[in-house]
Amino acid sequence: MSETREMLREAAERLFEKHCGAETMHRADGGEFPQALWRALTEAGYAAALVPESAGGPGLEMPDALSLLFSAGRHAVPAPLAETMLAGWLLSSAGLVPPEGALAVAPVREGDVPSVSRECGSWRLQGKASRVPWAAASAAIVVLARFEGRNLVAVTAPGDCRITNGANLAGEAREDVDFSGARCSAAAETLIDPAALHALGAVMRSAQMAGALQSVLETTVQYAQERVQFGRPIGRFQAVQQNLAVLAGQTAAATAAAEAGIEAAARDLDSPAVAAAKIRAGEAAGIGAAIAHQMHGAIGFTQEHRLHFSTRRLWSWRDEFGNEAYWARRLGGAVAAAGADRLWHGITAAG
């Protein structure tokens, strides 16, 4: 791990520990946007972590910037940090300066590709995007759209769109957006296509899931040491120890896959490591959350306990920016297209 990355993670841990307490989590769970947390993220420069210095950002290398999302996942940060980072990266690819405030990105699902048209000297958006994170709460929605066979990055205001409220299992805003002639405050061509946007979003979710699993593991091990049954801590029972070992293994695998995906994404968003990261993190999310709740019993689902803030996000994030089945198809298709002669090279290169 680079010195820069280590310093970023240490600082992020301190920030999240201060601003992601129980009160903040419960209020966010009820639909309140965490303004104090967001101010802290903005002042620290984390929201603009993928924006180059020339556009007013910190100019971090992509692997260093994305490493922040491990810590964000560990603390179940109830704010659009990943989405604003993604929006900043997309805007920068088109030479646009990100506006201030939280940002939403569309589309986040394959097939939801809006278009833009030129009307009376201004750009107008057409089309719809589903399950857009934090659309209504954002200062602007950054849209990757099509125009005459080219990819354009467009910026529009939530108030210019028709937004249907919704949420994922974790209570995070996931809203359907109907653009239908929404005016663009800015638009510029980019070399980024929807597949690349989808891939970077998947890597981000992989890092968040790995971080959430780290928290779940720590919480579950601590509970097993403290919970006494039949006269001794349940962590001393062999069956419990075996389950904890499986949880630790799944957490380690997800973390390693996400780290590999991050390193690969900085070079090539078509890398097999990107697909493998989302597949492995998603699989670990399902197994890990099940074990954690089995260990905790009913208490893990109560509002007073912190576990469910992580596990509900694990269940939600594994389906966002493509689930395991989607990325397995993508990975399998790429391997098949490369041919049998390239199979071994692909395996060794990915490693």
Q: Provide the pLDDT for residue 151.
A: 96
Question: What are φ and ψ of residue 114, in 5° steps?
Answer: -65, 170
Q: Provide the pLDDT for residue 343.
A: 82
Q: Provide the pLDDT for residue 304.
A: 84
Q: Provide the pLDDT for residue 278.
A: 98
Q: How many CA atoms lie within 13 A of 313 on its CB side?
A: 27
CA triple 291-296-297, angle to 5 deg: 100
Pick from 140, 130, 113, 114: nearest CA to 174: 130
Residue 317 has pLDDT above 90, yes or no: yes
* Predicted confidence (pLDDT) per residue in 39-91, tens digit: 999 999 999 999 999 888 998 999 999 999 999 999 999 999 999 999 999 99
Higher pLDDT, 2 or 270: 270
Comparing 94-98, 163-167, 302-306, the range with the smallest average pLDDT is 302-306
Helix (H, G, I), strand (E, B) or coil at 46: coil
- pLDDT over 70 percentage in the chain: 99
344 confidence band (pLDDT: 50, 70, 90): confident
Q: Provide the pLDDT for residue 121.
A: 79
Q: Provide the pLDDT for residue 351.
A: 53
Question: Could you tell me which CATH number the domain at 82-191 has?
Answer: 2.40.110.10
Domain boundaries, the chain: 1-79, 82-191, 195-350
Residue 36 and residue 43: Cα distance in Å, rounded? 11
DSSP 71-133: HHHHTT--S-HHHHHHHHHHHHHTTPPPPSS-EEEE--STT---EEEEETTEEEEESEEEEEE
Q: Provide the pLDDT for residue 119.
A: 82
pTM: 0.95
302 confidence band (pLDDT: 50, 70, 90): confident
Q: CB-based contacts of 194: which residues, under 8 Å, 6+ apart?
A: 107, 110, 113, 144, 151
Average pLDDT over residues 18-22: 94
Pick from 237, 100, 224: nearest CA to 155: 100
301 confidence band (pLDDT: 50, 70, 90): confident
Placement of tokens 């069956």 in the chain: 239
Please count the residues of the chain: 351
Comparing 280-284, 328-332, 333-337, the range with the smallest average pLDDT is 333-337
For the chain, helix, strand, coil in percent to 5 are 55, 15, 30
Residue 171 and residue 18: Cα distance in Å, rounded? 22
* Predicted confidence (pLDDT) per residue in 104-126, tens digit: 999 999 889 999 998 877 899 99
Q: CB-based contacts of 292: which residues, under 8 Å, 6+ apart?
A: 216, 217, 219, 220, 247, 300, 307, 311
Residue 350 has pLDDT above 80, yes or no: no
Selected from 3.40.50.720, 3.40.50.1000, 3.30.1360.10, 1.20.140.10, the CATH number assigned to the domain covering 195-350 reads 1.20.140.10
Question: Could you tell me which CATH number the domain at 1-79 has?
Answer: 1.10.540.10
Q: How many CA atoms lie within 13 A of 251 on its CB side?
A: 26
| Contact by Cβ (8 Å): 220, 295 | yes
Q: Do the domains at 1-79 and 82-191 have one common CATH topology? A: no
16 confidence band (pLDDT: 50, 70, 90): very high
* Predicted confidence (pLDDT) per residue in 256-289, tens digit: 999 999 999 999 999 999 999 999 999 999 999 9
- DSSP letter assigned to residue 51: S
349 confidence band (pLDDT: 50, 70, 90): low
